[in-house]
Every structure is written in C-alpha cells, then in structure tokens.
Amino acid sequence: MTHTWIIAARRSAVIPRGGAFAALDLHDLAVPVIHGALADACLDPVQVDELVLANALGAGGNPARLIALAANLPQHVAGLTIDRQCVGGLDAILLADTLIRAGHADVILAGGVESYSRRPLRLRTFADNRTPEPYDQPPFAPTPAQDPNMAEAANALARSRSISREAQDAFAIQSHASALTAQSRMVGEITPIAGIVTDPFTRRLSQKTCARATPIAGSITAANAAVAADAAAICVVVSDKFAARFTGPKARISAGATLGADPAQPGIAPIAAIRASLTTAGIKPGDLKVIEMMEAYAVQAMACIEEVGLNSARTNLGGGALSRGHPIGASGAINAVRLFHELQRSGGSGLAAIAAAGGLGTALVLGG
C-alpha cells in the first residue's frame, strides 16, 4: 500500500455550547454526518471496516462503538475512540491512514465528535476521604510550570512575540469576514442537523465589538479566542484500490505527523509537526494552495503562520475556529473537512494543523 485517499468529507454546523445542539447526544451529532459522508462516497455502510473518532470531553465508554451501532454500520465495526484533546480529530485521520497502509482495512470513517454542552461533571477524589472536588480540566503535564492555563499561555505568547491585542482583534475580524463570504460554498460540506446548514456564530465582527469584549488574560479576550462548541466531522479514508474506482472528488493523504513540544508553550506546538509533514511530502510552505490553521486563539494561529512562513492569503479561506467555535475533539477533523473542500476548488497541496494542551501539535498534508 503506497497511499490512502479521502474521498468524502462532511461536518455538522458548529454551534456554541448551550445552543441549538445542547440537547443532542454524541450519536445524534455524528450519525447524520456519517450518513452524509457515505452518500458522498457512494458507499454502503456494509463496506465500512472501522470507525475512528476523537472525543475529549465525554464520559468514556468508547463512543465510537455506540455511534457505529447507531449509524447501522456492520456489527464487526468495533469502533475506536481516541483522546488527544484538540489534535484528536486530525490524529484519527492519521490513524486511519496508518491502518489502511498496513493492510488492516480498505475503508475507514475517521474524524471527531464533541458535545461541550453535554460534557459530564467530574469529581476528583482523595485517599484521605475528603469530600470530592469538582474540576473542569484534567492536568496535561506533571508540574504547574509545564501546565499553564491556556489563555494565560496565549497571552504569554503574545507578549513574547510582541503581538498586540489590536493585531489579534484584526485577525479575528478577518476570520469572521472570510467565513461570511464563504457561507454559500460551505453548503456541500455541512450536513443539516436540526435544519441548521451554516455556522451561526459567524458574524460581522467589528473593531468596536472587539474593544468591548470581555478580557480573559491580558490581550486575550472573548473576541480573539474561540468559544467552546458542539459539532461532528467525518472523513472517508480509503485504500488505493477503492480510490481508483471512485469517480468523485478525492484528495491523497501525502503526509502527516503528531509531535510533542514544550508543554509550557502549547500554542506553537504545531510548528515542528508542520515542518516534519512538509519535509515528508517534499513540498515547501510556498507550494501550499490552501492552509487550515486552527484558531483556538488568534495569537496562536498568527505565531504559527509567521514562524513556518505560511502564506496568510491562502490561510483559512472560509474563516477558522474564531468565527465558528472550538468543539475540542472535532476541531482537527473540521479543519480536514474544510481543507478537502477548498482543495476541490484550488487543486494542488494543502495543509491542516492544530495544537493541543500538553504541548502537542498535529499536521496533515493533502494532495500534491
């Protein structure tokens, strides 16, 4: 096996937590997207060998298996749920690529699903029988210095690179503007759920609105940080054998990497993964026609774009997470879905990249 291919890619709309998807379980989000992707790929569910899904906030129990059953996939599809937090959605696609190239499967559904609205309450217990304490986020590194608050880490990144709040706000304004312009062309990638076919958080963000935004940490505000959200995204990853007889749109998986970096600086963790992936693919940053860079924070995306030398005019052509929301385990897969569809218009090679707490970065190169 030399290559794998994405032959279909679908997502739901991205809805901020507490919104229109607040009552939906994970399978309610994922199943319609799976069916939409299979229809685009002209595949019957019985042809699916495996389902690999990222989920970061659920209660465990292998949601991928539950979703496989709810989607009426064959019972032999065991389902595999992974948790690498924000990078998990891209990692699921890279894992599908590895499994297929190893000869273990021909058709894998891969992506992510997250319901921030329905995440379970968590309690930390103690050996001395103290009353359990609620917590929202688990530790991502063993010491406090290596495990910063994400917004505070983003603010430290902004200070170290002299990126002002005004510059971050301008980046966020452009993200929303690009998303508004691209709404009509996103029809082919968004599977309707509850009748919603656009990302409702997208708006005409202005400098005046940004100036009034609630501060989170220093220059980081509610306007230049992505909001927590609910969504699902699925890519149909197939072998050369399947791709050869598929006549619809497709994109070759050229390279990908997940690498750890300094956990104290999580925002720039994708840089090493991007460079490694481009080297493997044999292309330079300037060769990329489309780039989907995660926008958990405006400053994080800005720093990665600048450090790698990516073309900002080719980055996030339909906006990014700042204009949609950040459904943690699904976010990387959403970037892959966006990349797949943008490449159908531009041709050539494209890159998707994302960071995660703990100093993780994942990159995926399609085409070329």
Q: Which distant-in-sequence residues (6+ apart) come within 8 Å of 48 by Cβ?
A: 38, 73, 74, 77, 107, 108, 109
pLDDT at res. 110: 99
Instruction: Say what percent of the chain tops pLDDT 90.
Output: 97
Whether 164 is in a domain gets the answer no
- Mean pLDDT, to the nearest integer, of 224-242? 97
Note the pLDDT tens digit of each residue in 266-304.
999 999 999 999 999 999 999 999 999 999 999 999 999
Residue 219 lies in a domain: no
pTM: 0.97
Structural domain range at position 11: 4-119+225-366
Asked if the structure places residue 134 within a domain, the reply is no
Contact 51, 109 (CB under 8 A): yes
Annotated catalytic residues are 86, 326
- The reply to whether 94 falls in a domain is yes
Q: Does the residue 112 lie in any domain?
A: yes
Pairing outcome for strands 229-239 and 15-16? antiparallel
Residues 73-118 have pLDDT tens digits of: 999 999 999 999 999 999 999 999 999 999 999 999 999 999 999 9
Q: How many domains does the chain have?
A: 1
Residue 133: predicted pLDDT:
95
> What does each C-alpha distance from 146 to 139, 142, 150, 355, 357 come to in angstroms?
10, 7, 11, 15, 10
Whether 309 is in a domain gets the answer: yes
CB 333 within 8 A of CB 89: yes
Binned at pLDDT 50, 70 and 90, residue 71 comes out as very high
What is the SS3 assignment for 193? Answer: strand
Assess if residue 98 is contained within a domain: yes
- Amino acid 237: pLDDT: 98
Q: Is 205 within the bounds of a domain?
A: no
Question: Which CATH number characterizes residue 275's domain?
Answer: 3.40.47.10
pLDDT tens string 183-218: 999 999 999 999 999 999 999 999 999 999 999 999
pLDDT of 1 higher than 70: no
